[in-house]
Structure 1
Amino acid sequence: MREFYNCSNMLSTTYELGVTAMAYPGASNHLSCYAQAHHHTARVSNPSIIKLSMIWTKQSAEGKEMIPVSQFISALRSTGLLTSDPRLSDCMRQLCQSMPDSAGTAFASNIDQLYYSTQRREGGHVADYIPQLAKFSPDLWGVSLCTVDGQRHSAGDTNVPFCLQSCVKPLGYAIAVHEIGTEHVHRYVGKEPSGLKFNQLFQSEKETGDRNFAIGYYLKEKKLCSIEVTCESGSVMAATLANGGICPITGEQVLSAEAVRNTLSLMHSCGMYDFSGQFAFHVGLPAKSGVSGAVLLVVPNVMGIMCWSPPLDRVGNSVRGIHFCQELVSLFNFHNYDNMRHFVRKLDPRRQSLDDRNKSVVKLMFAAYSGDVSALRRFALSAVDMEKKDYDSRTALHVASAEGHVEAVIFLTETCKVNPHIKDRWGNTPLDDARQFGRDGVVSVLTEYQRMYPCSSESQSETEDQRKLDTLKVVV
């Protein structure tokens, strides 16, 4: 899921913006947007009004103003406009059509397909022994996921609040272990599922179970099982467990690593009532269900998922939630015991294939060969190494220099700040290629650039990280 997790992937497609606002009060009412899907760009068309460059645009090597799509959307919202505004419908549609598919969008598309296929599944009954739960429609169905680096995706009724019910138990246990330690907690709490009904135990202790009644009333007072969440907020809770106790949204360490490890172990063995053994066998992931219809699913070190659908099966688990988890593991190799290398029938969104890496080199070289600066910019914004070499140890700068594409050379040198001293397998630098093929314009650009570029390997290694950071800022 490397590409899906790579936040820089959000910057993979940029647009020359056409968002303008009149420079007087009420500007948001007169905001106009001219989106033009030409080489994935939309152009700023009116220099007499305030441009979005005030939000953080930079001049690129060609003198055109560019910003990431995410900055574009943020700028719209800062003016008080929503992306759902009908006046922006054409603009939003063209943006979506122009943005290329990535591993991230493919993964989200697969999740959506699982959501809709599960939505058609019927059966189960809404819990009617709790008045608040009995009010929910059996047609409600939502899925939200949050990755360990904070990326989000939702489908369905994900903003409808519901009670955590038993899904709060892993969180309560984790907090207890975090606060007072595992040894102290397990003086009172076991580690194995009993698999037995509570009836006999309840009947034998009903007359003398004053302490249990006291604990029950205490929990009722604190409204522990009545904590209200949505699928979206629940997915962040699950992602915190997937991320070793660090909240992916705030970056705060809220649970210790020991507490998370113990919690996930118990969720795996006894988190799904009497279905726990079957769930561990078929799904193989830590999860906890509640009679509200929620299923809190954790994919360790990857993401957290919250599913919610009120209809329950005979053991008290969400019918749609269980089916979604099973289908998820049948499509992706998230099962704890799936073979990561040889199970070719399942998808692994965490893995970038060798073919993808090879294709990126070919695409980069072809962009340099054709002088496509827009494509080069997309590669730079996607955090692609602009100094990648082909089988002849030639870089994009070698190819652009040999072909005489001055604008591409200027972009690679001034914006990406690539190393002009790299030699191919014949010992030629980009400047040597430009001289060999008589590219006088490129020769002058590279000669000037080489004078300013540090030559020593020591100084290059010291400034490498800063150079990459500066490159991203300049391109954005």
Structure 2
Amino acid sequence: MKFRLLIRGILLKYKYILPLSPFNKRMLSIKLPRLDVDLSSDDSSQLNRYNKTPVEVVSPLNPLTVNHVIGADQNNLMENLALKGILKDDPRILKMLHAFKEEGRSVSLDTPDPQLNQVDDVLVSKESFAKCIAQNTIVNKVFKNQLIIPEWKAFTGQITKIFNELRDVKDGKTASYIPQLARVNPDKFAISICTIDGQRQSWGDFDSKFCLQSVSKAFTYAVVLDELGDEYVHRYVGTESSGRAFNKIILDKDNKPHNPMINAGAIVVASLLKTTDPLSERFDHAMKRMKEFAGNGHVSFNNSVFLSERETADRNYALSYYMREHGCFPEGSKHRENLDLYFQLCSMETTCDSLAIMAATLANGGVCPLTEKRVVSNTAVRDTLSLMLSCGMYDYSARFAFNVGLPSKSGVSGDMVLIVPNVMGIAVYSPRLDELGNTIRGVKFAEKLVEIFNFHHYDSLIFNESNKIDPRIKNIDVELLNICNLLHAINNNDFDFVKKYILAGILLEEADYDGRTALHIAAATGNAEILEYILRYWKVTPDPKDIYGRTPLSDAIYFNHPDCVKLLQAAKQKYLANGYENEALDSVQSEMIKKMNFLAIDNNNDSSS
């Protein structure tokens, strides 16, 4: 029963409930895009093959009448989803559309409305509609506004401002050690965001392809941890920041590479990936795992970059031979194949949009937000994020951790991932690099992001005095929390706290669930000092009624607080004198005031005698 009521509430909210027909059940007409996609497949490379016609829910619409269509903004299901960041190429949405098609096949399309008889139109009952969306948790989350970033438009608006500010940044140069990187347009710039709920948006050249380069190190390390466990992996690679250049020929005191985010450590980690398998099998396995991170989004291989990397890798060859001399590789590994696999991992190609999904999989504890499948274990993600925070930005890692406080990894192609744990993954692509090999726009973006939002690792400290935005909280939740805190402070006679909230600009006129305002609570508790202070900032009638019809003045009279009565009477008269209303005191209130004044005089006489 609860479930059916919940669905009914969802449908009512979005006006999907139709008027009863005397002839048959209430129905919904749902216009679907033409699908030539195998929806049973997880291969989202097919996503661009279908007609991009948006899904429209045309309702309320009685099957026997034609002209009962309401506003398009409430009828377009895909538009409502897109406003919250759920895009039409989301695999979860495609499965829902497939469910609509399946449900519609059992319903007759023989109606007087010619539009309902088109190939693209499906007629489903209200019950079928509820059944289709009930199987899709993300749609229910959208309808109930329970996504991790509830105010998606406001959040992405802030990101748009940052993106536009950084477009004019022309500092830095592209990597030039191989021709494929040197030829890239230095002005390319893209930002993509994917939350743990799969809310996505991209800016700029987000479809441009680029190689992962060193960003692959984080994902490879997570895969190896997941498959072999941290105890085995860290027999061969350490967890400390080296304090040296990322390609320095040096080992730690235990003759191991310092960490997996530098070249030496990444080569050793690559050697642990399916160590005894043929190189072709190892590469296929690595590609499969990368695609899983991306929710089967775009991940490919750039052979020309691989060949160039291999031809110009003298330093990496030297590192590898040095480590082989010190016994850094697992038994049975093949030296040249390990290096080739490392170069292949760096040469894997993706887009900013897909890279954001990969980052979001890490932010989501190893579960891809789009496929909702576990890619790596939670423990593997924990260890990966820890090292990304301390070692992910080459020789700028410590400073970046201090300024930004988020796990990240950059690559010399100009790509960078930024992880906000339990919230979102962010990908930035801009080939202009600083002298340390980090994307300049990417670093600036991260710094601006934590200036605006409370994403820094230590922004969550209690008694935080910053005014940063927490996009995880609904605006209405913040307002309700503030008004509840204010009313609680008034009830406890906490004048300092009341001042703090009022001076912070809280909407004093807001009420609680009973319609009681700050004036009601102050009048009922009898704190004239607080009441007088509130009245200074009160902009509307000082006589608001709660759901029981009581006003602050009637509360002050009822609880026998004469000082509060005088303050409210004066405020009422001042309000009326300013011409806001043409009201007089309620007759019942007037009688109660007279009685109170009589009692006050009587008490004074008793005390004087």
TM-score of the aligned structures, taking structure 1 as reference length: 0.57
Tell me whether 1:164 sits opposite 2:286 in the alignment. no
Cα drift, residue 208 of structure 1: 5.9
Partner of 1:352: 474
Question: Does residue 343 of structure 1 match 2:391?
Answer: no
- 1:130 to 1:64, Cα distance in 2 relative to 1, 3 A: same
Are positions 1:193 and 2:241 aligned together?
A: yes
Identity %: 41
Pairing partner for 1:391 from 492, 507, 514: 514
Query: Does the 8 Å contact 1:14/1:69 carry over to 2?
Result: no
Q: How large is the Cα RMSD of the aligned pairs? A: 4.3
CA contact (8 A) 2:16 2:60 kept: no
Counterpart residue type for residue 174 of structure 1? A
Rounded Cα–Cα distance in structure 2 between residues aligned with 1:219 and 1:68: 55
Shift in CA distance, 184/343, structure 1 to aligned 2, threshold 3 Å: same
Letter of the 1:173 counterpart: Y
Is the counterpart of residue 252 in structure 1 residue 259 in structure 2? no
TM-superposition CA deviations, 1:354-397 (whole Å, max 9, x none): 4544899xxxxxxxxxxxxxxxxxxxxxxxxxxx993169xxxx
- What is residue 424 of structure 2 aligned with on the other side? 303
Distance 1:358 1:193, change over 3 A: closer
Shift of 1:106: 0.8
Q: How far is the alpha carbon of 1:175 from its aligned partner? A: 0.4
Q: Number of residues paired by the alignment?
A: 311
Alignment of 1:36-435 (within 5 A): 57-58=59-60, 64-65=68-69, 68-71=75-78, 103-197=151-245, 198-201=247-250, 215=335, 217-221=337-341, 223-339=344-460, 342-353=464-475, 354=477, 356-357=479-480, 390-391=513-514
Question: How far did 1:70 drift?
Answer: 3.1
What SS is found at the alignment partner of 1:137? coil
Aligned residues of 1:246 and 1:254 also touching (Cα < 8 A): yes
State how 1:455-466 maps to structure 2 within 5 Å.
Answer: none
Contact 1:164 / 1:228 at 8 angstroms: preserved in 2?
yes
Q: One-letter code of the match for 2:223?
A: I
Structure 1 pair 180/209, CA: closer, same or farther in 2 (3 Å)?
A: closer
Q: Is contact 1:163–1:226 with CA below 8 Å preserved after alignment?
A: yes
| Cα distance in 2, alignment partners of residues 334 and 326 from structure 1 | 10
Describe the superposition over 1:44-80 as per-residue Cα deviations: whole angstroms up to 9, x where unpaired. xxxxxxxx999674559xx944554334699xx9999
Tell me the CA shift for residue 119 of structure 1.
1.3
C-alpha distance after superposition, 1:311-347 (max 9, x if no partner): 1101100000000000001111100001466334211
Deviations 1:427-447, CA, capped at 9 Å, x for gaps: xxxxxxxxxxxxxxxxxxxxx
Give distance in 1, aligned partners of 2:341 and 2:55.
Answer: 54
- In structure 2, distance between residues paired with 1:127 and 1:186: 31
Amino acid at match of 1:279: F
Cα distance in 1 between the residues matched to 2:365 and 2:340: 30
Please name the residue that 1:408 is paired with: none
Letter in 2 for 1:298: I
2: CA distance, partners of 1:236 / 1:339: 25
- Tell me, yes or no, if the aligned pair for 2:360 and 2:419 is still in contact at 8 Å: yes
Q: CA deviation at 1:131?
A: 1.7
From the superposition, tell whether residues 350 and 55 of structure 1 become closer, same or farther in structure 2 (CA, over 3 Å). Answer: closer
Question: 1:298 and 1:313, CA in 2 relative to 1: closer, same or farther beyond 3 A?
Answer: same
Question: More deviation in 121-130 or 268-277?
Answer: 121-130
Deviation at 1:218, TM superposition (A): 3.3
Q: CA deviation at 1:180?
A: 0.8
Stretch deviating more after TM superposition (346-355 or 241-250): 346-355
Is there any run of 5+ residues in structure 1 with no aligned partner, and where?
Answer: 1-7, 27-51, 82-101, 361-387, 394-423, 427-476
Q: CA deviation at 1:13?
A: 7.3
**CA shift in 2, pair 1:54/1:71, >3 Å:** closer
Q: CA distance change for structure 1 residues 209 and 176 in 2, over 3 Å: closer, same or farther? A: closer
Which residue identity lines up with residue 175 of structure 2 in the other structure?
Answer: A
1:15 and 1:69 in contact (8 A); partners too = no
* 1:278-331, Cα deviation, whole Å (9 max, x unpaired): 000000000000001011100000000000100110110000000000000111
Distance in 2 between residues matched to 1:281 and 1:358, nearest whole Å: 31
* CA distance 1:343–1:208, change in 2 (3 Å): closer
- Which structure 2 segments of 5+ residues have no match? 1-8, 18-28, 35-53, 82-87, 89-96, 98-117, 121-149, 251-314, 484-510, 517-546, 550-609
> Shift in Å at residue 425 of structure 1?
6.3
In 1: Cα distance, 2:336 partner to 2:435 partner: 25
CA distance in 1, matches of 2:30, 2:322: 73
Structure 1 pair 344–143 and aligned structure 2 pair: CA distance change class (3 A): same
Q: Secondary structure at 1:224's aligned position in 2?
A: helix
Residue type matched to 2:471 in 1? Answer: P
Q: Deviations over 1:110-161 (max 9, x none)?
A: 0010111111112111001022111111100000000000000111110101
Contact 1:13 1:69 in 2 (8 A): no
Matched-pair contact (CA < 8 Å) for 2:364–2:423: yes
Aligned mates of 2:439, 2:387 — CA distance in 1: 20
Distance in 1 (alpha carbons) for counterparts of 2:56 and 2:169: 50
Distance 1:65 1:246, change over 3 A: same
- Give the SS at the match of 1:284: coil
Q: C-alpha offsets along residues 232-254 of structure 1, whole Å, 9 cap, x if unaligned?
A: 00000100000000000000011
**Alpha-carbon offset, residue 352 of structure 1:** 3.0
Closer, same or farther: CA 110–276 of 1 in aligned 2, 3 Å: same
Contact 2:57/2:75 (8 A) holds in 1: no
Report the more deviating stretch, 311-320 or 118-127: 118-127
Q: How far has the Cα of 1:351 moved from its partner?
A: 1.9
SS in 2 for 1:298: strand
Question: Equivalent residue for 1:88?
Answer: none
SS of residue in 1 equivalent to 2:345: coil
- Residue type at the aligned position of 2:218: P
Which protein, 1 or 2, shows the higher relative CO under an 8 Å CA cutoff with sep ≥ 6? Answer: 1
Report how far residue 350 of structure 1 moved.
1.0
